[in-house]
Amino acid sequence: MREERLLAYLQGACLGRAYRVSGKELERVMGLSGTDLRKIVNRLRRRGVPIASDQNGYFYAQTSGEVYSTIRYLVKIRTGLDAVIRGLEASMDEFRLGR
């Protein structure tokens, strides 16, 4: 039910990048926590729903270009997370050395 409400809101009020809404505003309007919002968006995206986003908010994509921009944005986030994971893995050597 929450997925359908969010989807309807994005399709009705946030069609295209020009009408994106911040995560904080979506949380307020939908009565969701940030964690719940991200989980719902991820579930919808996994179902093939073109919910786009950037550092300024979420919107229902109107073009394949908006979807592609979101993919590039997510790849950039993933690359950063991969670097963090490598750094943490390297830090494990300190524990192996007994420090």
* CATH number of the domain to which 71 belongs: 1.10.10.10
Quickly list DSSP for 12-37: HH-BSGGG-B-HHHHHHHHT--HHHH
What tokens appear for 77 in the block?
């986030």
In the prediction, which pLDDT does 70 show?
A: 97
In the prediction, which pLDDT does 94 show?
A: 81
- In terms of C-beta density within 10 A (0-12 exposed, 13-18 middle, 19 or more buried), how is residue 69 classed? middle
Weakly modelled stretches of the chain, pLDDT under 50: none
Whole-prediction pTM value?
0.85
Contact between 18 and 61 (Cβ < 8 Å)? no
Give me the number of domains the chain comprises: 1
In the prediction, which pLDDT does 99 show?
A: 56
In the prediction, which pLDDT does 14 show?
A: 97
Domain interval for residue 19: 2-96
